[in-house]
Amino acid sequence: MDIRTVITSPFGDQRPGTSGLRKKVSVFQQPHYLENFIQATFDALSDYAGGTLVLGGDGRYYNPAAIQIILKMAAANGVGRVLIGQDGILSTPAASCVIRKHQAFGGIILSASHNPGGPEGDFGVKYNTANGGPAPEKVTEAIYRRSTELTQYRIAVAPDIPLDRRAHHRLSGMAVEVIDPVADYAQLMEALFDFNRIHALFNSGLFHMRFDAMHAVTGPYARAILEERLGALPGTVMRGTPLEDFGGGHPDPNLTYADELVTIMNRSSAPDFGAASDGDGDRNMILGSHFFVTPSDSLAVLTANATLIPGYADGLAGVARSMPTSAAVDRVAGAMGIPCFETPTGWKFFGNLMDAGKVTLCGEESFGTGSNHVREKDGLWAVLFWLNLLAVRRESVEEIVRQHWAVYGRNFYSRHDYEAVNAAAAHDLMAALRTRLPSLPGETFGAYTVATADDFSYTDPVDHSVSGGQGLRILFQDGARIVFRLSGTGTEGATLRLYVERYVRERSAHQQDTQVAVAELLTIAERIAGIRRRTGRDAPTVIT
């Protein structure tokens, strides 16, 4: 084996966030930058020699070059076998599925999720552990510490591996298997859902849907499963070819960036069901004809109806949601007599709960929903869950959600994103608000009186680790709340997220518009935090 040792120097900005290391493409293209991070990752691990590694990504710009570098470094660092998706493609949930099925020691996923791609766009590298989920903080911190002291990395001198067809290769003694990126995942989906019943729904001729893959990774998965296996009409999957720059779009499945699908679903002749997924396939948006389902409501509805689905017919061990996510699922869990956990944002927190058998379903307000079938949120899984539910209940999306509100009440909920805000201004805003929190309890703002205000901290019930600084909460006496949080998924400036929530039990009030229902809370949030004054922004970038 021809192994080259390359002398390098540390970079000071390689601490992974909740979803790995994300930077602009140009940053990763710096000499030694990617190599340093990959070597730091291998150095932080143990007991992987001769083991299996899963590798793939969302097809964004720089994926092909990065994959070849990682393959050669894996060989130089003693990896025994690499499973890699054809053309370097693996959705994030599919990568988790492959890791678990083939008992790999871990996986490297190349994606910046819902962030824009292309030469001027974003790139990311994330390490997932043997359970298929994102590396916990103790691992990501070990990677970061190693990155700060790295002086050399190892890489094999070998030709590139062709990835355009399924095949077996050898690279400096390491086995490389180029696999069908869809097969293992599709097999898992068929084990969870009643594909025959969904096929009958499509075959009835009375049901139509559109799925927006946003020129991202789920295009091949959606075509193979929805159109080829389940019988949805050809053309059901729109923007289904993965492109390095996502067709110039922003691959985030929300009402702003999936506007073409939203327009289709609001036409007079709208399909019955619409859905979209993001860059790496782990997020979802659910739409009915002229009807948007918030991610929080989606999680609550799926929880309430889980026993109608074959894979969950025996019931749920529990559910979990991230702290900023609406408490709609809490009410369902309470009625069902199952536990509901409130965690920080980041799927790794759900992984511990699932591994311990404490939860079955989980979700985040940022369009992420999933279950214990893998250890990542899963966009297409959520779509199939809804399709199975629609096939069983034979009601519209809107009817199902409105009936849910009639039983459990409605949590009016909205998230306002201020993207690419000046980082210093955003951090100053949070620091000033954090200082004010102790004085807020007892203060009255219009019809709302503050009950408590805190900086959310979480003690993991499984490993007892503590995660602090997870978001600033203002909780009111009637159950309403305001949450402020800085997101860790952007690469430019800072993303400030404002969440507002108000619970309404009276059925007669469920028809009002969400933004009208939470308008007073938005005014209070501005009064307390001074977002306009501190950021210079008159309005959010995205409202969901």
Domains 3-181 and 185-408 share a fold: yes
Judge whether residue 35 has pLDDT over 80: yes
Q: Quick check: 283 and 216 in contact, CB under 8 A?
A: no
CA angle 375, 331, 472 (to 5 degrees): 70
C-alpha 398/C-alpha 401 separation (Å) is: 5
What residues does each domain of the chain span? 3-181, 185-408, 410-543
For 173-212, write each residue's pLDDT tens digit: 999 999 999 999 999 999 999 999 999 999 999 999 999 9
For 495-514, write each residue's pLDDT tens digit: 999 999 999 999 999 999 99
Helix (H) or strand (E) holding 475: strand 472-476
Kindly report the backbone phi and psi dihedral angles of residue 269, in degrees, each rounded to the nearest multiple of 5, phi listed first: -105, 45
Burial classification of residue 118, based on how many CB atoms lie within 10 Å of its CB (0-12 exposed, 13-18 middle, 19 or more buried)? middle
Q: Quick check: 331 and 414 in contact, CB under 8 A?
A: no
The question of whether 113 is a catalytic residue gets the answer yes
Kindly report the backbone phi and psi dihedral angles of residue 110, in degrees, each rounded to the nearest multiple of 5, phi listed first: -100, 105
Residues sharing a CB contact under 8 Å with residue 46, sequence separation 6 or more, in sequence order: none
Question: Which residue do the tokens 């600033």 mark?
Answer: 472
pTM equals: 0.94
C-alpha 26/C-alpha 83 separation (Å) is: 27
% of the chain with per-residue pLDDT over 70: 99
Q: Is the dihedral of CA 198, 315, 405, 542 positive or negative?
A: negative
Residue 85 has what pLDDT? 97
C-alpha 135/C-alpha 347 separation (Å) is: 10
Rg over CA atoms, the chain? 23
Q: Which of 91, 111, 113, 414 is catalytic?
A: 113
Chain centroid offset of residue 357 CA: 21
Question: Which residue do the tokens 């929805």 mark?
Answer: 226
For the structural domain made of 185-408, what CATH number should be given? 3.40.120.10
For 381-440, write each residue's pLDDT tens digit: 999 999 999 999 999 999 999 999 999 999 999 999 999 899 999 999 999 999 999 999
C-alpha 252/C-alpha 39 separation (Å) is: 31
Helix (H) or strand (E) holding 42: helix 33-44
Answer CATH for 3-181 from 3.40.50.11540, 1.10.8.100, 3.40.120.10, 2.40.400.10: 3.40.120.10
Which residue type sits at 64?
A: P
Residue 346 has what pLDDT? 83
Mean pLDDT of the chain: 95
Q: What is the mean pLDDT of residues 13-17?
A: 93
Residue 488 has what pLDDT? 60
For the structural domain made of 410-543, what CATH number should be given? 3.30.310.50
Residue 544 has what pLDDT? 84
Of the given ranges (301-305, 309-313, 364-368, 375-379), which has the lowest mean pLDDT?
364-368
Q: What is the DSSP letter of 426?
A: H
Residues sharing a CB contact under 8 Å with residue 47, sequence separation 6 or more, in sequence order: 105
Residue 37 has what pLDDT? 98
